[in-house]
Amino acid sequence: MSRQQSAPPLPRLLALATAVPDVTLRQDDVVRHAAEIFAPAEGGFYRLAPVYRNARIAQRRSCVPIEWFLEEHGFAERNALFLEHATRLLVEAARGALAQARLAPEDIDVIVAVSSSGIATPGLGAMLMETIPFRDDVQRLPIFGLGCAGGVLGLARAAAMAQAMPDARVLLLVVELCSLTFRRNDRSKSNIVATALFGDGAAAAVVSCRDDGAGARNAPRLGPWGEHRWPNSLDVMGWDVADDGLKVVFSRDIPTLVETELRPVVDAFLARHALTLAEIDAFVPHPGGAKVLDALEDCFGLRRGGLTHARQVLRDFGNMSAVTVLFVLRAALDASPSGRHLLTTLGPGFTAGMMIVEVP
């Protein structure tokens, strides 16, 4: 006679904090400098100038001043800047998350660090341990290569580790410094689109199954989560490695793929967990760009402009790759809506990440 197994404990989001660099890039200034850089190219900057107007971005944050983009930079210099600024932003975000959760660094058992815009060996978690006094035996999981999908899938990996170790507290760190990938001699449309979209930022979250009082019991519940990869889609999104840095890869078909391919994947994900789209109270997507948001609203049957928090984050911070969806989640939680939230994101692979967040 077999013993019936109880359901695994449900992870909860005990804290979520964000951080951005000090430099503000206003879109009007970006357009003026981009014209200086790209206008000499055949066909010129002006052929693609509407990209900046149509991005619906007012400003972004950058770890380097706007004059930096007018000069040439090698891979080594870019990565050194990544390590310096990524560590600083993660320290700020991690301290914010620990303060929200009312935890000390020694209370953290696992650190999950997600980033795809720079290379860190030792990993970013180890670098943080030089500044924040985490325990020497803390477990570390660095994750590279998820791109824009890293916010949702990183949160899913942190939740899975918390569920596997119910007494553990997991600190999720996500940082992207996309501005450092700009290559001034790259006249490709992908690079020009990136200059109209990309910003820098970081986020940190504390995830745990521990029942440590009313604060934990009233925290948002994480899960279920899932992902889907489309075959023959490796060239839709990602990086190519060039001599002077990471070269962005964007397909112009991304909005169309969202509009035509995402809904069946989301419906199948929800059905596996006995849910339908009608039972979703709020949508928390990664705002990859204005056209992607339009496609997402069409995909989910929302009125145009209905993804309010995602549009506000895109307007004020741009596309920060993996970090962006966590900014949108923070905005949604600050608005104090209860109910079932659907997090979605798309990244290299070509991959969709999905998660349900239940807010009491």
Strand segments, DSSP code E, in the chain are 12-19, 23-26, 59-62, 110-114, 139-143, 169-177, 200-208, 221-229, 237-242, 245-250, 282-285, 339-347, 351-359
Cβ 248 vs Cβ 282: under 8 Å: no
Q: How far apart are CA 81 and CA 15, in angstroms?
A: 28
CB neighbourhood size of 233 (10 A): 16
Identify whether the C-beta of residue 326 lies closer than 8 Å to the C-beta of residue 284.
Answer: no
> Which single residue is written with the structure tokens 């916010």?
151
Catalytic positions are 148
Count of helices and strands (H, E) across the chain: 12, 13
Q: Helix or strand or coil: residue 143?
A: strand
Burial grade of 172 (CB within 10 A; 0-12, 13-18, 19 or more): buried
